[in-house]
């Protein structure tokens, strides 16, 4: 049985278990300013990229998750209010969330990232662990209507292209920070939706992050 199927089963079991997910709407947390220089070149990050599924018990730092969230969909600050990943017609259908299981400086919970302010707002409390024991998970969701209203049926394809751009940014940024990641597309949509208190968004992609 492959890793993706195992993870999907684990998420389904987690959803069926007595996990305590409490909806909340916390204060905005100002994230650390992004750095524009890393420890490795882009070429080295591409060469080092691997799917790493084993993590240590060491927590992540707030600076690290701030940098990863910025890489996912942040404002690049170079050519105005453009983002780190391209979006068809600048429709911006993606929403990025952080599950902080063990992040120094952040209470455990699910956080929604706001690229325009570079802030994170807690949307739910999480009292139990998640599969693979990663200290953090980046989750991409989509509001398809933002793109399909402009491009019709082809908008769905553009959304999927965009999440690929953004997720690759996360993987490469993690490498630059000396962290591990791997991509997950097989998961229980209902459980992730409850975890993030989603209403009009569709979960697309999960990226565990750790050491």
Helix (H, G, I), strand (E, B) or coil at 21: strand
Q: What is the mean pLDDT of residues 34-40?
A: 90
pLDDT of residue 128: 65
* DSSP for residue 179: -
| CA 78 – CA 82 distance, rounded (Å) | 8
Mean pLDDT of the chain: 88
Six token digits for residue 195 = 């975890």
C-alpha 104/C-alpha 179 separation (Å) is 15
pLDDT digits (tens, 9 = 90+) for 160-211: 999 999 999 999 999 999 999 999 999 999 999 999 999 999 999 999 999 9
Reference 113, options 146, 136, 135, 144; nearest CA is 136
Domains and CATH numbers, the chain: 3-210 (3.40.109.10)
C-alpha 96, offset from chain centre: 5
Instruction: Evaluate if residue 9 carries a pLDDT over 50.
Output: no
> Residue 24: what pLDDT?
55
- pLDDT of 147 > 70? The answer is yes
Pick from 40, 207, 55: which is nearest to 140 by CA?
A: 207
More confident residue, 144 or 9: 144
Is the pTM here over 0.95, yes or no?
Answer: no
Please report where in the chains the tokens 């990025």 appear, as a residue: 96
Q: Could you identify the residue written with the tokens 């079991």?
A: 13
Beta bridge pairs of residue 112:
97, 121
Structure tokens at 137: 């998970």
């Amino acid at each position: 049985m492959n890793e993706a199927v195992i993870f999907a089963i684990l998420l389904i079991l987690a959803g069926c278990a007595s996990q305590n997910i409490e909806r909340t709407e916390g204060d905005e947390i100002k994230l650390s300013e992004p750095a524009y220089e890393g420890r490795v070149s882009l070429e080295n990050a591409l060469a080092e990229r691997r799917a790493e599924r084993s993590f240590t018990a060491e927590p992540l730092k707030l600076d690290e998750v701030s940098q990863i969230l910025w890489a996912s969909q942040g404002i690049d600050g170079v050519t105005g209010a453009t983002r780190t990943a391209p979006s068809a017609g600048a429709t911006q259908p993606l929403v990025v969330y952080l599950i902080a299981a063990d992040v120094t400086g952040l209470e455990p919970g699910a956080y929604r990232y706001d690229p325009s302010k570079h802030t994170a707002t807690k949307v739910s409390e999480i009292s139990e662990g998640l599969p693979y024991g990663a200290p953090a998970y980046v989750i991409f969701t989509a509001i398809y209507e933002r793109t399909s209203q402009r491009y019709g049926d082809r908008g769905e394809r553009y959304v999927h292209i965009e999440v690929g751009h953004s997720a690759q940014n996360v993987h490469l940024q993690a490498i630059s920070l000396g962290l591990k990641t791997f991509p997950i597309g097989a998961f229980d949509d209902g459980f992730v939706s409850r975890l993030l208190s989603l209403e009009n968004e569709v979960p697309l992609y999960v990226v565990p992050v750790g050491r």
